Structure 1
Amino acid sequence: MTLYRKLFIGMVAVFILLSSSAFIIELLTKKAHLAQQQQVEITNTLNSIGLALAPYINNDDPIAAESVINAVFDGSHYSSVELRYLQSEHKLVRQYPVQPQKAPHWLTQLNLFEPITADQVITSGWQQLAVIQITSHPGIAYDQFWQTLQRMSLVFAVMFILGSSAIAYIVKRSLKPLHAITQKVNKISNHEFDKPLDSPNTADLIPVVNGINRMATQLESSFRAQVEEAQKFRNKAYLDPVSKLGNRALFMAQLDHWVADQTPGGIAILKLGFINELYHQKAYQVADEKVLKIADTIRSLTSASVDQIVLNPTTARIAKDEIGFIFPKINETDLKLIVKALLAKPLLSQLIANDQDQNHYLFGVAHSDGQQTRAEILSLVDGALAKAKSRPDKPYGFISTTQTQYLFGKKQWQTIVEQAIRSGDVVFRFQHAKTMQGNTFHREVYSKIQRSGAEYHASEYLFALEQLQATWEYDKHVINAMIEQLASESQPTPIAINLSLSTVLEPRFIQWIKEVLPAHAAIAGQLHFELPEISFIQHAAITTLLCEAIVGSGARYGIDQYGRNFKSLAYINEFKPFYVKLDFLYTHNLDDENQRYTLTALSRTAYNLDITTIAARVETQRQLDFLSENFIDIYQGFIIDSLNFEPQIA
């Protein structure tokens, strides 16, 4: 029970007690007054009738005496009249059946008023002539008492309503500062820091409010410091200080990630000979300025799209005169289109062109079918650089290892996926994410297509669907399949579903989520949706709509690739996801001290916001031991369950 309700009920109870006491006292007073009034009236009547009857009785005229009695008592509120002559023992008795006219029957059954009987001797001088006895009827008393009860009830009802309203207003107004303090504390506990509380009018609460404001300011500063610390460690570990692009450590980590996925993709190195010359000439400032200008240009060009192909590659300065690019999950044709489009941009060509030296820059591009090791891929791109140097008439050198199988275009991939959905050729498997105690947090679903004896992994066709902005239809199919899977289980375990970026940005998908999840309310709570981190950073508005639709339907969402984008981490305080999944970048190479510090800072930021943190691809006991000591809650990988996939389902 809230303090407001306790105070309100207590004060109303006291008000009712006082009002009831006054009500009862007033009724008792009225009752006594009516009884006394009844006694006075019967006494007055006896005196009056005695004086009126004395002459007629003295003259022995019973007819006249009877006429007087009839005239006085007919229509009166007396129940009986008896006149007894003392000389002759003759009696005159009259009965009057009087009933209350307004009082209800239940009131008369309370016996609040008793009939009063009184008599008086009628005399003439010293001679006693007769005795008259009158018995009153309490009906008029009950009627007056009922009218009084009605009026008092109405007055007290009005007073109760007005009094309760006044009490509610006073209590609510008095507790308003306390309510504001409660809301502020709740927001602080959720790491929501807004403007300080206004100083209340209640003197006793002023120190409390001031203390809350100081605490909120200190916590906000502490949280910002933690975010800045995480960003500082991340920048130190993976950001080149001159170009503000990634550094060699980032490039190698993302290359390892790509190799581990075993998916087709491209790699390129832009070697800037004139930058190396400037450093040899010790023109460091000029060289740094040119590097920064080229990096800014590359960053703006690669953040756009080329022929509907969304780029966002990994770009890093891997040497003082080399900039590396990684284009994961891309086919050879699209890679060539991207490279040609980048080199055709006037801004970039003007920065790196030099008519006097044809070897002023070298651009080596290699495409891998996903089956090579890191060393082999780096050898490929080195060969492409050598090819570019030997063929100065060409804008870049190109080497490819792509096999001829699965060389499908984007439209072909879309057709294959649509046919697989219709024919039920999409199959699923699960990988458990567990705590250190072995409790399953959720199962992450993976999908692939099996048809006509061929097998296509999601990484092969999702990139094509992403370029066509058609992933939302595929993700709808996955969600429907998982809803059916959960419905078929007697004790379902939550399932995590990865959503592609183009799915997150699709308004029709958001509308579909609003319709489907409420229709399966009993299952919605078992669904976890993983959204890529970049959607929260670059597309916050529409991502907010999707998150509201998910949470409003009872499901939950998490952030995938947490920490991949070199932007502020403050967004997680705004969105408050159910969990975050650390990017592979931070969990694979724990020998690097800077990387360990960065991982700790990132995970501590989520921990302080009460957000569950998941580490994926945990393959060794050393990884597990380190991660368990650094604010990681859930683990996914070989060491935690030996990649214990469940049987495939269609």
Structure 2
Amino acid sequence: MTLYRQLLITMLLLFGLLFLITYWVQFSSTRSYLQQQQETNLNNTATSLGLALTPYLDDGDKLGAESVIQAVFDGGYYRTIRLELLTSQEVVEQINASTIQGVPDWFVKLGLFPEIINESILTSGWLQLGKLKIIGHSGQAYHELWAGMSRLASWFIVGFLVMTILLMRALHFLLRPLKQICDQAVEIEQHHFSHVIPEPKTHELKQVVQAINTLTNKLEVQFQEQADEAELLREHVYVDAVSGLGNRAYFIGQVNAWIADSGRGGVMLVAVDMLEDIYRDEGYAARDSMVKSIASALRELLQGWSGSAVARISAVEYAVLCPTNGSQQLLELAEQINSRIAALVVNPMTSGQALSVIGIAEQDGDDDLSILLTKADNALAKARNERRGAVVMAAGYRPGMMGKLAWRELVEDAILCQRWSFKAQPACRFVDGSQLHAELFASISRDGIDYLASQFLPVIEQFDMGRQFDRAILTATVGLLKQQLELTLAVNITIGTFCSGEVLNWLPKFLSENENLKSRLLFEVPETAIVKYREHVSKFINLLREHGFKWGVDHYGRHFQSLDYLKMLSPSYVKVDHGYTSQILNPSTDTSFLSAVCRAAHNAGALTIATRVENEVEVAVLAKLHIDGYQGFVHSTFKLS
């Protein structure tokens, strides 16, 4: 119970008790007054009536005595007036048997007024003439007591309600600084440090607010320092200082992750040997300027390639990872790279000549990192022997390969006919092995063949089918969750979903219809989407929060951009990119960056999960690196139906 409610209830109880005591005192005093008044009236009536009856009784005038009694009875409020004539043994009696009007029966039955009786002997000298008995009627007392206390109770109730409203407003005003402190504590717990509490006038609360604001500022600075530390470590470990591109270690990690995901496409090595000529003729400043220009051109050309990576691996060589389904796309990209590099140095008034050569190694499906880079090196060597501008591909077209239109038709048919096959892989905690969730993997089943997501996802991105694909998968996921009530699934959202704001058209309805699954359905957003489409991703995440759904970051740490999005978007968890975790068993691997980015995620309130963990040895090493959980083939996947 909140402090506001505790104070309100306590004060209302005290005021209610005060009202009850006041009411009881007033009730008792009014009752006593009415009872005394009734006794006094009855005694006065008995005295005056006895004096009035004595002359008639002396004369033996019974009719006169009856007339006097009738007049007194009609003029007062009595239950019984009884006159017993001692001389003739006759009785004159008047009885009022009427009920009390305007007073509830239960109130009368309380017996608040005892019956009042006055008996007296009427005499004339030493002669006893009669016996007079008067019994008072308490109806008038009950009526006045009920009416008076009802009015008082009404005023008390109205006053209590008015006082309650005023008390609520007063407590709201007085406790506003305390509520702001509580809200700030929640913000700090969620690692939001931008809000500053205005200082209240209350001295004690003012000191607390000042301390909270100081703590908030310090935590914000500390968080930013750790984020900056992660950036510096990343630059030190994985960034080439001159070009700003990734270095060889970064590229190897990205290729390993791509191979582990059964990626399709290829690797190309770009050699720009004329950089040595520039260094020899013009110095290192001119060479470095050209290196940066080439890096900028490569970034621009690869901007639309989802999952691509580019690095500078030596003084004159660049390496490019190109996920694609077609050899022709690799060749076209290579020609564009040669043309752009040539355009950097040629005189616009003359025809340009190619200045670089490219060797391409296409992934055959079974190639590991060593084989793939060896093929690319051989292709590059052959291109160098041919001529400047040469492009050599080590692996050509293979029979049975599907073209991009065939892949598109396959995906469209799967969306239309629901030809999905699902598996799930658990993500577990290092501490106790408990399952955090299970990541959903979708494949297309047609004609007895299963097509993995890594095979058709490039086609989905190329033909902008991400929204239709994600909607189909989410709809199928709802069915899986309803069938298996103990299951919690994490669903990857494709980058194409965020290219435009169209996802906001259908997502609110989907979330509203499935709010009962908000604790069992998680959304995973790739870091690439956050970097490229921050505005659309923010709207997407705000919708998830409005409906109570949680989300996480996939491929966390892949990009060299700042990690400030952690503080702004506050994911529930992040999955560390396999490019960093795949090399942890190498004794020469520097894990300082991995630890730094994991600490940055912790500071943002997110759990960290390592991906593609293959064996218990990797589990033991990763458990020491500020990582909360792990996921991979160390746990077998299970099929969903």
Question: Normalising by structure 2, what TM-score?
Answer: 0.88
- The aligned length equals 637
Q: Per-residue CA shift, 1:294-328, capped at 9, x if unaligned?
A: 4334434432x4xxxx4663122222333332212
Amino acid at match of 1:337: E
Residue 469 of structure 2: aligned partner: 474
Q: Distance in 1 between matches of 2:24 and 2:146?
A: 14
- 1:140 CA drift (Å): 0.9
Q: Does 1:494 align with 2:494?
A: no
Q: Does 1:353 align with 2:346?
A: yes
Q: Deviations over 1:546-601 (max 9, x none)?
A: 33455556654321110001111121233232321111121122347674101111
From 318, 323, 326, the counterpart of 1:323: 318
The Cα RMSD (Å) is 3.3
Residues 11/582 of structure 1: CA separation in 2 closer, same or farther (3 Å cut): same
1:619 aligns with 2:587: no
In the alignment, which residue of structure 2 is the partner of 1:101? 101
Q: Which amino acid aligns with 1:317?
A: R
Distance 2:472 2:155 in 1: 68
Partner residue, 1:463: 458
Aligned partner of 1:202 in structure 2 is 202
The whole-number CA distance in structure 1 between the counterparts of 2:330 and 2:58 is 142
**Is 1:533 aligned to residue 494 of structure 2?**
no
Q: 1:34 to 1:446 in 2, by over 3 A?
A: closer
Is the counterpart of residue 276 in structure 1 residue 276 in structure 2?
Answer: yes
| Greater alpha carbon shift after TM alignment, 115-124 vs 130-139 | 115-124
Q: Select 1:604's aligned residue among 583, 588, 599.
A: 599
C-alpha change, 1:480 and 1:128, in structure 2 (3 Å) is closer
1:237 aligns with 2:237: yes
Q: Which amino acid aligns with 1:192?
A: H
- Whether the 8 Å contact between 1:233 and 1:598 is mirrored in structure 2 is yes
Give the match for residue 396 of structure 2: 402
Distance 1:474 1:458 in 2: 11
Q: Say if 1:625 and 1:71 are closer, same or farther in 2 by CA, change over 3 A.
A: closer
Letter in 2 for 1:143: H
Shift of 1:188: 0.9
For 2:434 and 2:619, locate their aligned partners in 1 and report how far apart those are by CA, in whole Å.
Answer: 15
CA distance in 2, matches of 1:161, 1:541: 49
* Shift in Å, 1:395: 4.5
Whichever residue aligns with residue 155 of structure 2, its letter is V
Cα distance, 1:408 vs structure 2? 3.3
Match of 2:556 in 1: 562
Distance in 2 separating the partners of 1:513 and 1:282: 57
Matched with 1:412 is 406
Whole-Å separation in 2 of the counterparts to 1:26 and 1:333: 100
> Which range is displaced more, 461-470 or 449-458?
449-458
Confirm or deny: 8 A CA contact 2:325 2:404 kept in the other structure: no
Whether 2:5 is the aligned partner of 1:5: answer yes
- Look up the SS of the partner of 2:497 in the other structure: helix
| 1:184 match: secondary structure | helix
Partner of residue 146, structure 2: 146
- The question of whether the paired residues in 2 share the 8 Å contact of 1:391 and 1:397 is answered with no
Shift in Å at residue 117 of structure 1? Answer: 2.3
Preserved CA contact (<8 Å) 1:54 1:123: yes
- Residue by residue, what CA displacement relative to the aligned partner does 1:137-183 show, whole Å, maximum 9, x if unpaired? 11111111111121111111112212222333333333222222112
| 2:421 partner amino acid | V
Change (3 A) 1:156 1:329: same
1:177 alignment partner AA = P
User: Aligned in 2, Cα 1:173/1:553: closer, same or farther, shift over 3 Å?
Assistant: closer
- Is contact 2:358–2:383 with CA below 8 Å preserved after alignment? yes
1:628 and 2:629 matched = no
Counterpart for residue 226 of structure 2: 226
Equivalent pair of 1:505/1:543 in contact (CA under 8 Å): no
1:557 and 1:500 map into 2 onto residues whose CA distance is: 14
Q: Equivalent residues in 2 for 1:49-64 (5 A)?
A: 49-58=49-58, 61-64=61-64
- 1:509 is displaced (CA, Å) by 5.0
Q: Determine helix, strand or coil for the equivalent of 2:103.
A: coil
Against the structure 1 CA distance between its residues 54 and 397, is the aligned structure 2 distance closer, same or farther, given a 3 Å change threshold?
A: same
Q: List per-residue Cα deviations over 1:271-306 (Å, max 9, x = no partner).
A: 444532332346333332333344334434432x4x
Structure 1, unpaired ranges of 5+: none
Structure 1: how far apart are the matches of 2:186 and 2:336? 52
What SS does the aligned partner of 1:433 have?
strand
Which residue is equivalent to 1:178?
A: 178
Q: CA deviation at 1:226?
A: 1.3
CA distance in 2, matches of 1:645, 1:102: 81
Q: Please tell me the residue identity of whatever aligns with 1:417.
A: V
Q: How far is 1:545 from its partner?
A: 3.7
Letter in 2 for 1:502: G
CA shift for structure 1 position 196:
2.1
1:69-125 deviation digits (Å, cap 9, x = unpaired):
323322531122234556666543332334312222222212211232224566678
Q: Do the aligned partners of 1:266 and 1:365 also contact (CA within 8 Å) in 2?
A: no
Q: Which residue of structure 2 aligns with residue 72 of structure 1?
A: 72
Letter in 1 for 2:133: Q
Deviation at 1:28, TM superposition (A): 0.9
Deviation at 1:425, TM superposition (A): 5.2
Greater Cα shift, 531-540 or 121-130: 121-130
d(CA) in 2 for partners of 1:55, 1:573:
108
* Corresponding residue number in structure 1 for 2:253: 253
Distance 1:445 1:49, change over 3 A: closer
* 1:583/1:170 CA distance change after superposition, 3 Å: same
Query: Residue type of the partner of 1:351?
Result: L
The letter for the 2-side match of 1:251 is: F
1:413 and 1:287 map into 2 onto residues whose CA distance is 43
Counterpart of 1:404 in structure 2: which amino acid? R
- What is the rounded CA distance, in whole Å, between the counterparts of 1:495 and 1:547 in structure 2? 17
Kept in 1, the 8 Å contact 2:310–2:319? The answer is: yes
Aligned to 2:574: 580
Report the 3-state secondary structure (helix = DSSP H, G, I; strand = E; otherwise coil) of the residue aligned with 2:197.
coil
State the shift of 1:415 in Å.
Answer: 0.7
What residue number does 2:332 align with? 337
The residue type equivalent to 1:442 in the other structure is H
CA contact (8 A) 2:238 2:250 kept: yes
1:31 maps to amino acid: R
Amino acid in the other structure paired with 2:96: Y
Deviates more, 1:213-222 or 1:442-451: 442-451
Secondary structure at the aligned position of 1:497 is classed as: strand
Could you say which residue in structure 2 is the equivalent of 1:163?
163
More off after superposition, 258-267 vs 65-74: 258-267
Cα distance change of structure 1 residues 83 and 374 upon mapping to structure 2, 3 Å threshold: closer
- Structure 1 residues 37 and 342: CA distance shift in structure 2, 3 A: same
Find the counterpart in structure 1 of residue 20 from structure 2.
20
Q: Deviations over 1:390-436 (max 9, x none)?
A: 665x7442324133335433322111233355666543444333344
Alpha-carbon offset, residue 522 of structure 1: 5.6
Question: What is the CA distance between 1:32 and its match in structure 2?
Answer: 0.8
Which deviates more, 323-332 or 446-455? 446-455
Aligned pair in 2 of structure 1 residues 126, 629: CA closer, same or farther (>3 Å)? Answer: same
Partner of 2:81: 81
Q: Give per-residue Cα distances to partners, 1:460-513, cap 9 Å, x unaligned.
A: 221012111113433444444444444444x64433333321135465555555
Separation in structure 1 between the aligned mates of residue 339 and residue 581 of structure 2, nearest angstrom: 38
Contact kept in structure 2, 1:589 and 1:595, CA below 8 Å: no
Amino acid in the other structure paired with 2:455: E
Cα distance in 2, alignment partners of residues 12 and 263 from structure 1: 69
